[in-house]
Each structure stands twice: as structure tokens, then as C-alpha cells.
Structure 1
Amino acid sequence: MHEKHPKSGRDETSEQRADRRWTDLIQEMRVALTGVQILFGFLLTVVFTPRFPDLSDTDRTIYIVTVLLGSASTGALIGPVAFHRMVSGRRIKPQAVIWASRLTMVGLVLLLCTLTSALLLILRVATHDVIAPVLVTVILVWYVLCWFVLPWWAKRRYTAPPAAVDDGQ
């Protein structure tokens, strides 16, 4: 039996909704995973470059933090795939979609931290200047605006309130 979902207004069963949301989530994760995997792969090679021993202790610490953040981000963004595989066929797809969505959001926050940390390291090495933290802060604000503030604003601005229930009065 089809039911019109109160939030989406779509005529779909809860299973169909879970399937659609899962497909949407997988498409979104593909974009994030590609970026984090490229960045993480690059980060893993930095330690083997001739210039790495010349980094200051602060820059080495930033590098280690960045690698750890990149690893955590990769884990969180790949986590939904493992989660789905482990619970597949158990008839809990709606719950799996919720947990996969949460893992993806954690992964995106960790990716934000990874990108910010990597940018800080690169700009510190490239500029040898106090301007690096200022530039990183500007980019961090930009990421937060694009990734979180704009979607939050759009959600609040364009989501219709639930339809009033007509109780005959």
C-alpha cells in the first residue's frame, strides 16, 4: 500500500522511500569519497619526499593530525558501505539509511577538518608567513557556508510546514 509521506509528499512505501534515500546517499558519497581518497593518497606520500625531514616540529604535527583526520574521514565515508553489506537482507533498510546518513555527515565534518588542516600545512610551508592561518580561516568559513549553512538555510526557507490536519472543526 502506498502512502503519501508527510515530509516529502511522495507517494511511496517506506521501503521505496528507504531505497530512494539509499540510492541518493550512495551518489552523494561517491563525490565525497573520490575527493577524500585522492587527498588521503597524496598525504600518505608526503612523508617520503626529500623535504619532509626539513619540516618544523609544528608542521610535522600538523601533517600527522592531517593524516589521522584523512584516515578517520575515509573510514566514516566508507562505513555506510560496510554497514549496508552487514545488514543487507535483514529488512532494516530504513534504519540502515539513517545510520549511513549519520556516518556520511561525520565523514563530511572530518573531511572538512582534513582539508583545513592540509591547507594550513601547505600554506605554512609555501608562504612562511603569518597570513597562512588567515587564509585558512577564510577558506574554512567558505566550506562551512557551502556545506552546512546554505543547505540549512534552504531547508528552513523552502521546506513547507506539515499540512494542517482537518479534524472537521
Structure 2
Amino acid sequence: MTQRRGRDETDDERADRMWGDLLQEVRVAQTGVQVLFAFLLAVVFTPRYEQLSQTDQTIYIVTVVLGAATTGALIGPVSFHRLVSGRRIKPETVRWAHRLTNIGLVLLLGTMVSALLLVLRVAAHNAFVPWIVGLVFLWYVLCWYVLPLWARYRHRAN
């Protein structure tokens, strides 16, 4: 029975706790991506889609593929757990789910930015669109990666 610094828990207890935390995090991301993906799937069936430029249709296709990949990565941990449940490999399951979630978040970043690009190109038709999308991209990177990594670095265990 191995003990870790910071908490008095075994490896299995730690894996159980981390699994619960991960599921809560994935639920938040899954909900958002599923709503966005559903919206994206419907767009192609509207009369307006045919009026989009070739560039906008390409951005749409890229966005849908990113949304599908994001959905796969963020639902992956649930399937992974379901298929290996009872095999006594919870710590490994948590590591794989962690990887899939990180991949899903990177894909979600791409999905959100490309969806925003498409919507603003159609809605605004001006030269400021790339700048606005770039600023939102930087905002996402700051909120999702820079601040957490800064906190991790600043508060690392000695």
C-alpha cells in the first residue's frame, strides 16, 4: 500500500478520487461540445448553406470534423472505463482518460475558434474578424492553459 504526499490515500483511493474529478470536468466540456456539434450538424440543411462562399463551406467542414473529433475524445473516457471496468486497472484507466480529455480540450479549442471564425465571417464581412477571432483564441489559451500552468508552477510541491 503506497502512500502519496499531501493526502492519506492509497493508489486505488487516489485513482477513485481522480476518476470522480475527471468525470465532473468532462461533463462540463461534453455538454458544451454536444450542443455546438448539434448546431453545426443542422447548418448544412439550411437554405443559407448553399449561399456560403467556398472558403466558408471549407471552414464549416473543418469545424464539423473538429467537433466530431472533440466529441469522440471527450466521450472516450466513459467508453474506456466501461470496457475495462472490473479489471483492477483504475490507475491506468485514469491516465488514459486524462490523455483523452487533454486531447479533447485541444480539439475543443480548435472547434470553438473555427466555429467563431465561420459565424463572424458570415455575420460581419469585415477585416476585423481575424483579429477578433485571434483575441478570443488568446483568451481561451490564457484561461485554459496559461493560468492553470502558471498556478501549477507557482504552487508546485517542494
Which among 127, 142, 145 is matched to residue 145 of structure 1?
142
Deviation digits for residues 44-65 of structure 1, max 9, x if unmatched? 0001111110000000000000
Partner SS for 2:139: helix
Higher helix share goes to which structure?
Answer: 2
Q: Unpaired runs of 5+ in structure 1?
A: 162-169
Aligned to 1:71: 68
Q: State percent identity of aligned pairs.
A: 66
CA distance in 1, matches of 2:130, 2:146: 22
Alignment-mate amino acid for residue 60 of structure 2: Y
Contact kept, 8 Å, 2:63 with 2:111, in 1: the verdict is yes
Which among 89, 111, 115 is matched to residue 114 of structure 1?
111
Contact kept, 8 Å, 2:69 with 2:107, in 1: the verdict is yes
Which among 89, 98, 105 is matched to residue 102 of structure 2?
105
Aligned residues: 158
Partner SS for 1:12: coil
CA distance in 1, matches of 2:35, 2:118: 17
CA distance in 2, matches of 1:4, 1:82: 29
Query: How far 1:130 sits from its partner (Å)?
Result: 1.4
Residue correspondence of structure 1 range 81-92 to structure 2 within 5 A: 81-92=78-89
Q: Unpaired runs of 5+ in structure 2?
A: none
TM-score by length of 1: 0.92
Aligned to 2:16: 19
